[in-house]
Amino acid sequence: MKKKVLSMLMAAVMALSLAACGGGTTGSGTASTGASEAGGEKVLLVGLGGDPTSFNPDANTDDHTYHVACNLYSGLLTLNNNEEIIPDLAESWEISEDNLTYTFHLRQGVKWHDGEPFTSADVKFTYEKIIEENGYLAGDLAVVDTMECPDDNTFVITLKEPSAPFLSSLAWYNNSILPQHLFDTDEDWTTCAAATTAPVGTGPFKFVSEQSGVSITLEKNPDYFGGEPSIDKVIYVISTDTDTAYQAFMNGELDYLTDVPASSVAALEADSNYKVGCLSAGRRFQLCFNMNGEYTSDLAVRQAVAKALDREEISTKGTNGLQAPAYGFYPPFLDWAYNADADIGEQDVEGAIQLLEDAGYTKDADGYYLHLSFLVFTGSTYADCAKVIKSQLAAIGIDATIEELEEGAWVEKVFAGNYDMCMMAGFQGPDPDNMTNRVGTGGGLNVSFYSNTEVDDLLAKARVITDETQRGEYYKEVQTILSQDLPILPLVEYAGYYACPSYISGLPYIDTDVDDINAYNFSKVTINK
């Protein structure tokens, strides 16, 4: 049924775009659609796992918003394909000797999609708006003392105190500069026209239309400061089911697959008709406990779950061996901040059961000490890992009920605290201060509702010094406390796999030589057929 629905969806998308069938091949070598051309137009069909909650990326954290925003908007800075900070709307910058004043020199002649000029006033307005509305970057901007615009092409930020991760926070994914002339109103910045039906940015593509649950269409911005894109349109095709999206890709109905099922990676890598890329550095799956939950507020329960987990089995059965086991709270590439002594230990089933019994839990008629809800995103890897974890928990007498949810529904339920355990993934770089967002009191991704004043204090101390050695010591102390409190558990390092037909070039994470754009920016894409 799902396949039939997606085929109908694709027919609608193709009709709307007037895109004809192109070359390409399926895994069996037969002709397929995709990378469509009609009347000389080149159209990239991209799978998207759900509708964006808003086209205002500064107010939202969902990935669907971010994927589209990368092509609609630009940031002051951005992260490139190698997770390095690079210029975006700011072409250069200086930092004062006391590490308090940041002077950004903006690109000249940049225009918004509606033709209005971009100026430093837009940058100042955006950051002020984020602070006012408690947007995604609000916590990082709390250190700002003053913001000034000496002229249209210069923007100056002065901090209250030094902040080592400040530049990386400005380059973070959900950090786009908004047009003041459209957002400076009394309307809600998430529901106004500029955030819903008529978004306007400075990015490589312009908004054309959205059909909820079906597609989002963008057209190239010939005036893009990074150079006019080679392709004419990007059409995001909405499909909430990863297996269905994969089949659509194999049928040639999608050109860019952003979530290749683990079981299919090897076959695609061996097929010359396709190119496969991998996003890995600094990402991992983690298990999060609701610290306010009836049972998961009990440290003994969290300790028992930690002892129940066999990460090697999660890696092998849940990810087809593609994702390495993760025992630490920081990814290995942050070696200067990593504390191996705080790693979570190996599986200990008997020890887990003893913890539950010592805490006073007894088995019910079904043979379980307790029953827990377990929320995960839809998608094969999440579900497969969750099934392995469910089996491992059953071995210690914990019944975990898995609930797969589309991202929007997951966010709504998790952030409301209506769960016991959940699984999430995400980038934990380029600076270790990113952990503040996950375990700091009130952090934007602190879905565990964890609060520890000692952790907050250590993170704050690490943020205001620039000496890497001393910063590392603070972060190592944080990891020690996390290993004791266990609000989250590392599971496996996350490596996301992406695929496209071999005749498409310039896609981040697939073509690794494309290192001057961010993760989902399609300005360098070419269709060579």
pLDDT tens for 138-187 read 888 989 999 999 999 999 999 999 998 899 889 877 689 999 999 999 99
- The whole-chain average pLDDT of the chain stands at 87
For the stretch 440-456, pLDDT in tens is 998 878 999 999 999 99
Q: Which residues fall within 8 angstroms of residue 8, CB to CB, at 6 or more apart?
A: none
In the block, residue with structure tokens 């097929």: 271
Q: How confident is the model at residue 516 (pLDDT cuts 50, 70, 90)?
A: confident
Domains of the chain (ranges plus CATH)? Answer: 2-51+212-279+496-527 (3.40.190.10), 74-183 (3.90.76.10), 283-493 (3.10.105.10)
The pLDDT tens digits for 155-168 are 999 999 999 889 98
Task: Provide the token pair at 72.
Answer: 């609609």
∠ CA 121-523-87, nearest 5°, is 45
407 phi, psi to nearest 5 deg: -55, -45
- Write out the DSSP string of 489-507: EEEEE--EEEEEETTEE--
Under a CB-based contact definition with an 8 Å cutoff, are residues 111 and 177 in contact? no
Name the phi and psi angles at 500, rounded to 5.
-150, 165
Mind giving me the DSSP string for 262-328? GGGHHHHHT-TTEEEEEE-TTEEEEEEE-TTSTTTTSHHHHHHHHHH--HHHIIIIISTT-S-B--S
pLDDT band, residue 51 (cuts 50/70/90): confident
> Mean pLDDT across the stretch 314-334?
86
Give the pLDDT band (50/70/90) at residue 79: confident
Q: From CA 505, how far away is CA 513, in angstroms rounded?
A: 10
pLDDT digits (tens, 9 = 90+) for 245-303: 899 999 999 999 988 888 888 899 999 999 998 876 567 789 999 999 999 999 999 99
Helix (H, G, I), strand (E, B) or coil at 386: helix
Name, in order, each residue with C-beta under 8 angstroms of 15's C-beta and a sequence gap of 6 or more: none
Is the pLDDT at 103 greater than 70, yes or no? yes
For tokens 């950090």, the residue is 175
pTM of the predicted protein model: 0.76
Q: So what's the pLDDT on residue 242?
A: 79
Handedness of CA 117, 517, 47, 256 (dihedral sign): positive
Min mean pLDDT across 9-13, 62-66, 119-123, 294-298 is at: 9-13
Banded model confidence at residue 35, pLDDT cuts 50, 70, 90? low
- What tens digit of pLDDT does each residue of 204-230 get? 999 999 999 899 999 999 999 999 999
Distance between CA atoms of residues 29 and 26, nearest Å: 5
In which band, very low, low, confident or very high, does the pLDDT at 510 lie, cut at 50, 70 and 90? Answer: confident
Q: What was the pLDDT predicted at 407? A: 77
Nearest partner of 201 among 389, 333, 295, 75, judged by Cα:
75
Residues 6+ apart with CB under 8 A from 60: 52, 53, 54, 136, 174, 190
Query: Which run of H or E residues covers position 125?
Result: helix 120-133
Closest CA to 492 of 402, 386, 404, 403: 386
Q: How many DSSP H helices and E strands does the chain contain?
A: 16, 20
93 neighbors 155 (Cβ within 8 angstroms): no
CA dihedral of residues 508, 509, 513, 515 (deg, nearest 10): 60
In eight-state DSSP terms, residue 487 is S
Residue 203, C-beta contacts closer than 8 angstroms, at least 6 positions apart? 69, 70, 71, 72, 73, 74, 221, 224, 521
Q: 465-486 pLDDT, tens per residue?
A: 888 899 999 999 999 999 999 9
The region of weakest confidence among 35-49, 61-75, 289-303 is 35-49
